[in-house]
Every structure is written in structure tokens, then in C-alpha cells.
């Protein structure tokens, strides 16, 4: 699902959690730092996605769904 970008990381921090915005594997170092420091409380990983990367099965499903709708429509 595509929704406008929401700063879940900021909300988590405002509520007292540790948090980081994750856009790449390198960004997970914040989680490792939290674990190394004793992992107290809650950590929220605000994982950002991109519409340009799509799982192959999702593309296949979308094509099949569109073909089924076209067949029903005649």
C-alpha cells in the first residue's frame, strides 16, 4: 500500500522509544547500537519502502487480476 510518508520514528521517539528510519541495510546499525547498549525499552524500526521495487509474485498477481477483470468486462 502506498500512503503519504509518515514519521513513525518521530512518533515513537516522542512516546519514549528508541527509533530509527531504515532506508537501507546500513541504517540497521542504529538497531545494533541499541542492542549493544543493553536494549532497554522499545525500539521502532521505521522501514521505508519504494514503489520501484516490487516482488515478482506481486507483478504476476496484478497482471492476472487485470486479465480476469478484462475477461469479465467482455
**Residue 1: pLDDT over 60:** no
How much is the pLDDT for 71?
92
- Alpha-carbon radius of gyration of the chain: 19
Domain with 60, as residue range(s), is: 8-73
Q: Would you call 13 exposed, middle or buried from its count of C-beta atoms within 10 A (0-12, 13-18, 19+)?
A: middle
How much is the pLDDT for 62?
87
Domain for residue 42, yes or no? yes
Domain for residue 33, yes or no? yes
pLDDT (tens digit per residue) in 32-65: 999 999 999 999 999 987 777 777 888 888 899 9
Pairing, β 18-22 against β 43-47: parallel
3-state helix, strand, coil in the chain (%, to 5): 50, 15, 35
Domain for residue 2, yes or no? no
Amino acid at each position: 500500500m502506498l500512503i503519504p510518508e509518515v514519521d513513525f520514528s518521530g512518533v515513537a521517539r516522542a512516546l519514549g522509544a528508541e527509533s530509527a528510519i531504515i532506508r537501507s541495510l546500513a541504517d540497521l546499525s542504529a538497531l545494533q547500537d541499541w542492542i549493544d547498549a543493553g536494549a532497554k525499552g522499545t525500539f521502532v524500526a521505521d522501514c521505508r519502502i519504494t514503489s520501484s521495487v516490487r516482488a515478482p509474485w506481486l507483478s504476476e498477481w496484478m497482471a492476472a487480476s487485470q486479465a480476469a477483470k478484462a475477461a469479465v468486462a467482455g
